[in-house]
Amino acid sequence: MPGVMPGALIGMLFNSVLNICDGMFVGHGVGSNALAAINIVAPLFLVCTGIGLMFGIGASVIGGIQLAEGNVKAARIIMTQAYIAGGVIFGIVIPVSLLFARPLLYALGCSEALE
């Protein structure tokens, strides 16, 4: 439909606005160290967003093709597999990130002043 923004684009737009507002409030309210700490972990949010978009958009395209061919069961299977794969990946990434939080933060550029 012309003139209608896709949901992924709207989501990314609001995510950018959130990051800008978050930076303004944290920078003015808490200080420069807090703003630096947010910018250290920002790449993690971008990676998680990228993985989620990869599974969501990829599965919706393939599922849409299957629906267009009349394969409702195949489309449901594809979407279910995408949800499960995303859940498994994040189910592994989150605990590992929490277990190795300090080395991960130092690998992202954290200094002792930001601890």
Quote the number of domains for the chain.
1
- Euclidean distance between CA atoms 75 and 72, whole angstroms: 5
Task: For residue 1, tell me if it sits in a domain.
Answer: no
- From first to last of its 115 residues, the chain has per-residue pLDDT tens of 455 557 778 877 887 888 788 788 888 888 888 888 888 888 888 888 888 888 988 999 999 999 999 999 999 999 999 999 999 999 999 999 999 989 988 888 888 877 6
Task: For residue 37, tell me if it sits in a domain.
Answer: yes
Contact 59, 78 (CB under 8 A): yes
Task: For residue 73, tell me if it sits in a domain.
Answer: yes
What is the residue range of 20's domain? 7-114
Task: For residue 63, tell me if it sits in a domain.
Answer: yes
Task: For residue 53, tell me if it sits in a domain.
Answer: yes
Task: For residue 75, tell me if it sits in a domain.
Answer: yes
Task: For residue 2, tell me if it sits in a domain.
Answer: no
Task: Give me the pLDDT at residue 59, please.
Answer: 92
- Euclidean distance between CA atoms 28 and 34, whole angstroms: 10
Task: For residue 46, tell me if it sits in a domain.
Answer: yes
Contact 41, 48 (CB under 8 A): no
Task: Give me the pLDDT at residue 72, please.
Answer: 94
Task: Give me the pLDDT at residue 2, please.
Answer: 53
